[in-house]
Chains A and B, each alone.
Chain A
Amino acid sequence: MFLALIGIFFGIIAIVYWFTAYEDAGFLMLLGSAFLGLLPGGYYLWWSRRMRPLEGDEPDATPSSGAGVIDSFPGSSIWPFLLGMGALFATLTFAFGLWLAPIAVALGLSAVIGGVVESRRGGTV
């Protein structure tokens, strides 16, 4: 909904700009922004028709009506840290040279593999 509204907003602004401005690029950019808002907005609207309503949206829901499993949450995981450090080394490679790249790749790959395996198994690897 919000995204669709953003899209409509940009559409209006684009039309206003078209009539007041002296150039075309800004108009096209604003039109593009409108489209970018409408695309995911429309997708979510389409999906929201098919979704089971959330308990959080029921005005008179009680906590007991939401009883049951909410979702699985990872309690702790080392992989985000390793992935973050991998990203740090990868960016440092751009500043200080390629000798840092192996560290970045090693950290990043191990984190991606570890993270995926962790998700599949649903527990600490």
Chain B
Amino acid sequence: MTTTIESPDLIEPEEPGGPGAHGHDVPAHEGGHEHHGPTGILNWLTSTDHKVIGKSYMITSLVTFFISGAMALVIRMQLAGPTSSLVNFQTYNELFTMHGSLMLYLFAGPFAFGGLANYIVPLQVGAPDMAYPRLNALSYWLYLGGASMMTLSFVVAGGAASFGWVAYAPLSNSINSPGTGTDLWLLSLGLTGFSAIFTGVNLVATIFYLRAPGMTMFRVPIFSWNMLVTGILILIAFPVLFGAVVMLFCDRHFGTHIYSVQGGGVPVLWQHLFWFFGHPEVYILALPYFGIVTDIIPVFSRKPLFGYRGMVFATLSIAALSTGVWAHHMFTTGVVLLPFFSLLSYLIAVPTGIKFFNWIGTMWGGQLSFQTPMLFSMGFLFAFLMGGVTGVLLASPPVDFMTHDTYFVVAHFHQVLIGTTVFAGFAGFYFWYPKMFGRMLNERLGKLHFWFLFIGFWVTFVPQYLVGLKGMPRRIADYLTSNGWTGLNQLSTVGAFVIGISFLFFFANLIQSWRKPVPAGDNPWDGGALEWFTSSPPPHHNFTHLPPIRSERPTWDYNHPEHRKDESHGDKRHREHEQKKETVGANS
């Protein structure tokens, strides 16, 4: 049914907030499992509501996250001792390939731009839905299809893909990697790639054209800004991946020789194309999570964001630079220009540094309160700092030649990616869960989750840096006692299991919130952005009323009229003039 949406009404600051916590629960989630009657499933299958699609995305991507995490634990058990025989080498190769693929293609990206962004961005910009709701639904179904295909490729004859998540040619050709598992892997990248492209289009169009009156570009919250830039990056990067995958598929099945030397092709072309997708992809994975943290820190510091415009320009320059650094993954191939790619990689540290400076500046002198979302954001800062600093080391060709393909690199990108997708991702989950479900998560269990994760994280990955410097290559299933890597590997395995345990607290927390719901109200954290203005969970087309939007914190301005001069940017005189005009308007 097509509904024509009228603009929401203005709500003047004198009136109290919107309606209270919503009574009934939104049924659409868990992939329409056995609990729902046919109407429930049909409801889910036909829904074009960005909130339902966002939640479906989140649940699907979290399922792949936990499957993939279980694979990581098997990998760590295999590596806990020398000459281990827990799994055979072929299975081990499949495990690390699928661990990486599921985490990167199916969890990290879709959780951010499909799940959280889908749910939150229309709320933050004051839109009734995404710009193209049916395209949005199509994105999800493509993603679900692709995700199931990749995950289920374990059960086909010959097993899942086993060439690492980067699928370098010629290892990925039909001679070295025969079997349907590899084909399914490639095809599922095609499906999920299109799903990402459609979501990117949707995000860009929503943020450009569906902003509420008064929500100028420089009042859009940073999370939505980052999602805009992520959407543009998706449009730059994913078509390249799709093209590369199609060519690889042609090489495998239709006799082309694009990546094979025999027919005059160039194997290293795959690496170029893959990393031209792959490095922007790193920022497609990182920027949304930067945005989450940027939205959380001001709320728990009781201050407006420090350096709003600096954040926007840092995001834009990170995105621009990310398209020019792909070959720093290929230093050791010997066919790339070392100084150029090294210099550009170093440059990325500058805008990232600006972001760190602004995050700290936001906390500086604020009334900090360390609730679960804030704790996770702090965890992100530490984790990403370590991952980022080792990244700067790796951008230096001499260091990279020493450490390439060792556990040093493994530890580096796990620190970056867990810092963003897990710490910041769960920060966002704890932060917005009350908005999505209208109920709170338990603080004590959330904090236990954080501390176990935080400690487990460092215990897992610091030893991996060390063992990498001792020369342990990545992707090996086995090593000898005489290598001297045993102790550090054991420590790392213990850490991995502590991370595993931390998620038990997360599950307990979810179960508790469903068994004994604590109503959240509209704005449990006293947040400032527009999503906190509507009810929890929001009604079908999000807003029945809107506040006047005069800064990037319209809800805060509305709830705290006494602090309305506390705005972080813009022409103050202009704003005072605005306020005078409004008062006059309200009086007359």
Q: Which listed residue (B134, B145, B209, B213) contacts A79, Cβ 8 A?
A: B134
Identify which of B6-14, B390-398, B400-408, B507-515 touches chain A.
B6-14
- B residues in contact with A33, CB < 8 Å: 323
The answer to whether A80 touches B209 (Cβ under 8 A) is no
> Contacts A62-B213, A70-B128, A74-B1 given: A81-B45 contact, CB under 8 Å?
yes
Residues of A close to B134: CB separation below 8 A: 74, 77, 79-80, 115
Q: How far is the CA of A122 from the CA of B11 in the complex (A)?
A: 31
> Chain B residues with Cβ under 8 A from A2's Cβ?
232, 316
Contact partners of A76 in chain B: CB under 8 A: 1, 43, 46-49
B114-157, CB < 8 A from A:
125, 128-129, 133-138, 140-142, 144-146, 149
| Complex-state Cα separation, A26 to B545, whole angstroms | 53
Which residues of A are found within 8 Å of B329, using beta-carbon distances? none
Residue of A whose beta carbon sits closest to that of B319: A6
Cα distance, A61 to B316, chains bound together (Å): 27
The answer to whether A94 and B187 touch (CB under 8 A), given A56-B215, A73-B541, is yes
Q: A54: which B residues are within 8 A, CB to CB? A: 209, 211
Asked if A31 CB lies within 8 Å of chain B CBs, one says no
Contact of A64 among B9, B217, B324 (CB under 8 A): B9
User: CB distance A56 to B213 under 8 Å?
Assistant: yes
How far does the Cβ of B174 sit from chain A's closest Cβ, in whole Å? 13
Name the CB-closest residue of A to B191: A91
A74→B214 contact, CB < 8 A: no
- B217, A96: Cβ atoms under 8 Å? no
| A88-B191 contact, Cβ under 8 Å, with A74-B48, A75-B48, A80-B48 | yes
State whether the Cβ of B176 lies closer than 8 Å to any Cβ in chain A. no
Residue A117 is within 8 A (CB to CB) of chain B in the complex:
no
Contact pattern, A 79-90, Cβ under 8 Å of B = 1, otherwise 0 = 111011101100
Known A63-B548, A71-B5; contact A95-B141, beta-carbon cutoff 8 A? no
CB distance from B303 to the nearest CB of A (A): 23
Beta-carbon contact of A72 and B137 below 8 Å = no
Chain B hits for A95, CB < 8 A: 180, 183-184, 187
Is there a chain B Cβ closer than 8 Å to A16's Cβ? yes
> A9 interface residue, CB < 8 Å from B?
yes
- Whether A85 and B141, one on each chain, are in contact in the complex, defined by CB atoms closer than 8 angstroms, is yes
- Contact of A59 with B214 in the complex, beta carbons under 8 Å: yes
Question: Number of B residues whose C-beta is below 8 Å from A?
Answer: 73
**How far apart are the CA atoms of A124 and B184 in the complex, in Å?**
35
Which of chain A's residues 37-83 have a Cβ closer than 8 Å to chain B?
54-81, 83
Interfacial residues of chain B within 527-552, with CB under 8 A of chain A in the complex: 540-541, 545-550
Query: What separation, in Å, do the CA atoms of A58 and B120 have in the docked complex?
Result: 23
- A92 contacts chain B at the CB level, 8 A cutoff: yes
Instruction: Give the chain B neighbours of A78 by CB distance below 8 A.
Output: 42, 45-46
Contact residues in B for A118 (Cβ distance below 8 Å): 2
Q: How far is the CA of A26 from the CA of B327 in the complex (A)?
A: 12
- What total of chain A residues lie within 8 Å of the partner, measured CB to CB? 57
- List the A side residues contacting B188 at CB < 8 Å: 91
A21 interface contact, C-beta 8 A: yes
Tell me whether B212 is interfacial, beta carbon within 8 Å: yes
A13 at the interface (CB under 8 A from B): yes
B581 on the interface (CB 8 Å rule)? Answer: yes
Inter-subunit contact B190/A57 (CB<8 Å): no
Given contacts A70-B128, A115-B134, A61 and B6 within 8 Å (CB-CB): no
Complexed CA–CA distance, A56 and B214 (Å): 5
Which residues of A are found within 8 Å of B6, using beta-carbon distances?
Answer: 67-70
Contact (A70, B211) CB under 8 Å given A91-B149, A94-B249: no
Chain B 149-186: CB-based contact to A (< 8 A → 1; otherwise 0): 10000000000000000000000000000001001100
State A20–B48 Cα separation when bound (angstroms).
Answer: 50
When the two chains form their complex, are residues B340 and A20 in contact, meaning their CB atoms are under 8 A apart?
yes
Contact of B138 among A21, A84, A94 (CB under 8 A): A84
Which chain B residues border A71 with CB–CB below 8 Å? Answer: 4-5
Minimal Cβ-Cβ distance residue in A for B327:
A26
A54 to B138, CA, bound (A): 28
Task: Say yes or no: is B588 at the interface (Cβ < 8 Å to chain A).
Answer: no
Q: Which residues in window 212-240 of B have CB below 8 A to A?
A: 212-217, 232, 236
Residues of A within 8 A of B484 (CB): none
Residue B361 at the chain A interface, CB threshold 8 Å: no
- Residues of B contacting A102 with CB < 8 Å? none
Residues of A within 8 A of B215 (CB): 56
Is the pair A77, B216 in contact by a Cβ cutoff of 8 Å? Answer: no
- Could you say which residues of chain B place their CB within 8 Å of the CB of A16? 340
Question: Given A2-B232, A66-B212, are A88 and B9 also a contact pair (CB < 8 Å)?
Answer: no
Name the residue of chain A whose CB is nearest to the CB of B127: A70
Given contacts A16-B340, A57-B211, A91-B145, 9 further A-B contacts (CB under 8 A): A5-B320, A6-B232, A21-B337, A56-B213, A66-B7, A69-B6, A73-B2, A74-B3, A84-B140
Residues of B within 8 A of A (CB): 1-11, 42-43, 45-49, 125, 128-129, 133-138, 140-142, 144-146, 149, 180, 183-184, 187-188, 190-191, 194, 209-217, 232, 236, 249, 253, 316, 320, 323-324, 337, 339-340, 540-541, 545-550, 574, 578, 581
- Residues of A at under 8 Å CB distance from B? 2-3, 5-6, 9-10, 13, 16-17, 20-22, 26, 33, 54-81, 83-85, 87-88, 91-92, 94-96, 115, 118, 122-124
Which A-B residue pairs are the 9 nearest by beta carbons?
A: A84-B141, A56-B211, A88-B145, A66-B213, A80-B137, A61-B213, A55-B213, A80-B138, A63-B10
